[in-house]
Chains A and B, each alone.
Chain A
Amino acid sequence: MRLDYYILFGLWLAAIPVGGYAFVHALTQRADAFTAADKLSKPAWLGITGASLLVLIIFQGGPRSSGGLFWLAALVAVLVYIVDVKPALVRVQGGGRGL
């Protein structure tokens, strides 16, 4: 059992709720906000975050990993949503600074 396995396992475990959060967040946004923010459409982001969440659940990371880093790719997609798309959605709905 190597340490890096446990690091990846921990990362994977933490990624699942993050993926769930991103999907639920996308689900609760108004559809025209995505267009207004110059992002992909709401169904597209629902698909991306939903598929990522599914991949995170199916392909377990860490010591019992079936190999492959699909889940890491899914985590990246989810993080793109959280750091890029979500703030843009908040801004275009009048949230954030300057109001």
Chain B
Amino acid sequence: MSDWSVLGTLVAVPALDRPDLLGAPVAAALKSLDPADAALVGVAEIDPALADTTEFCAAYGSPLSGSANCVVVAGRRGEDTRYAACLVLASTRADVNGLVRRRLNARKASFAPMDDAVARSGMEYGGICPIGLPEDWPVLVDAAVAAAPAVVIGSGVRHSKLALPGALAARLPGTEVVDGLAR
């Protein structure tokens, strides 16, 4: 049984019990996980107007350092654009222009524009989830997320949030734990 108290005043249920609260790519990716791992992921319904991390934390009494933001980064080298997702605690900021840019072997790195991130991930903005992203996107997980007992992340949609152990977030398919990703 996982600890979902990081969701504050919300009551979570196992994520796979409520597919209506999951983005389609997220639900598909969760189903393909080891059932024992998938059972560690909880979901709770929220007001979609409160999906942005600071508002979410204030409204539901969830600690800011217990939320992880998933930002999509686009790295460009010439005509070639590569994407990566970065999972960092909401109390910290991703070092996009340093570590992420080097990891993507790009000359320039920037936040992917909102439309671009939404269209390519199939998820709603504000609810981007590291589970179920396109397979060729590396998911870079800050070491502080991996060490957290539990983190709140997006669910692919704005009207819910997921909670899962940091250690699970760090061993999902396609993830790499990066020390010093966040500052």
Which A residues lie at the B interface, using CB under 8 A?
Answer: 30-38, 41, 91-94, 98-99
Contacts and interface: CB of A to CB of B under 8 A. Distances in A.
B180 to A, nearest CB: 12
Given A91-B108, A92-B110, A94-B116, A36 B74 contact: no
B97 A37 contact: yes
Contact of B97 (A30, A38, A41, A94): A38
A94 B114 CA distance: 9
29 contacts: A32-B69, A32-B71, A32-B94, A32-B111, A33-B111, A34-B93, A35-B93, A35-B94, A35-B95, A35-B183, A36-B94, A36-B97, A36-B110, A36-B111, A37-B96, A37-B97, A38-B97, A38-B98, A91-B108, A92-B96, A92-B109, A92-B110, A92-B111, A93-B110, A93-B111, A94-B113, A98-B76, A98-B108, A99-B113
Contacts of A31: 93
Contacts of A37: 96-97
Nearest to A31: B93
Given A94-B74, A94-B116, A35 B110 contact: no
B112 interface: yes
B113 A93 contact: yes
Contacts of B69: 32
Contacts of A41: 93
Interface in B49-92: 69, 71, 74, 76
Contacts of B94: 32, 35-36
Given A36-B96, A36-B97, A91 B110 contact: yes
A99 B116 CA distance: 11
Interface in B108-125: 108-113, 116
Nearest to A41: B93
